[in-house]
Amino acid sequence: MAQITFRKHLEATAKENITKAERETMMDTWAKDGFDDFIAQVAVEDSVMHGNLICSQGDADYNSIYNSLPTTRLTSIFKAGSFYVRNETNIGRCTNNQKRNKVACEAEGTCSDTQYNNNEAGCTGASGTWTSAGNSWTVDGKYFMIRGGVIYNFGTQIKQLNLAMHQVVKRAAVKALTYHNSLSPTSSRADQITKLTSETDKDTKTFAADANATYVSGDLEDPIDLNKAYQPRAAELAV
Note whether 119 and 16 are same-domain residues.
no
Distance CA 219, CA 92 (A): 26
Note whether 102 and 115 are same-domain residues.
yes
Note whether 48 and 17 are same-domain residues.
yes
- By the 8 A CB rule, do 99 and 135 touch? yes
* Final residue in a domain of this structure, among 81, 108, 138: 138
For residue 143, tell me if it sits in a domain: no
Question: Per-residue pLDDT for 157 more than 70?
Answer: yes
Q: Report the DSSP beta bridge partners of residue 85.
A: 145, 237
* Model pLDDT for residues 33-52, shown as the tens digit of each residue: 999 999 999 999 999 999 99
* Model pLDDT for residues 160-206, shown as the tens digit of each residue: 999 999 999 999 999 999 999 999 999 999 999 999 999 999 999 99
Note whether 112 and 162 are same-domain residues.
no
Distance CA 47, CA 63 (A): 24
Note whether 20 and 79 are same-domain residues.
yes
pLDDT over 70 percentage in the chain: 91
* Model pLDDT for residues 104-142, shown as the tens digit of each residue: 899 999 999 999 999 999 999 999 999 999 998 776 678
pLDDT of residue 176: 98
For residue 134, tell me if it sits in a domain: yes
Distance CA 47, CA 28 (A): 27
For residue 144, tell me if it sits in a domain: no
Note whether 79 and 169 are same-domain residues.
yes
pLDDT of residue 236: 56
pLDDT of residue 198: 97
For residue 25, tell me if it sits in a domain: yes
Note whether 82 and 154 are same-domain residues.
yes
Confidence of residue 234 (pLDDT cuts 50, 70, 90): very low
Note whether 156 and 84 are same-domain residues.
yes
pLDDT of residue 237: 64
Note whether 38 and 75 are same-domain residues.
yes
| pLDDT, averaged across the chain | 90
Confidence of residue 71 (pLDDT cuts 50, 70, 90): confident
pLDDT of residue 92: 62
* Model pLDDT for residues 52-66, shown as the tens digit of each residue: 999 999 999 999 888
* Final residue in a domain of this structure, among 81, 105, 138: 138
* Final residue in a domain of this structure, among 138, 168, 203: 138
pLDDT of residue 89: 45
Distance CA 35, CA 70 (A): 22
Count of domains observed in the chain: 2
pLDDT of residue 212: 94
Greater confidence (154 vs 89) lies with 154
Cut 0.85: pTM above it: no
For residue 73, tell me if it sits in a domain: yes
- Structural domain of 126: 94-138
pLDDT of residue 103: 84
Note whether 74 and 176 are same-domain residues.
yes
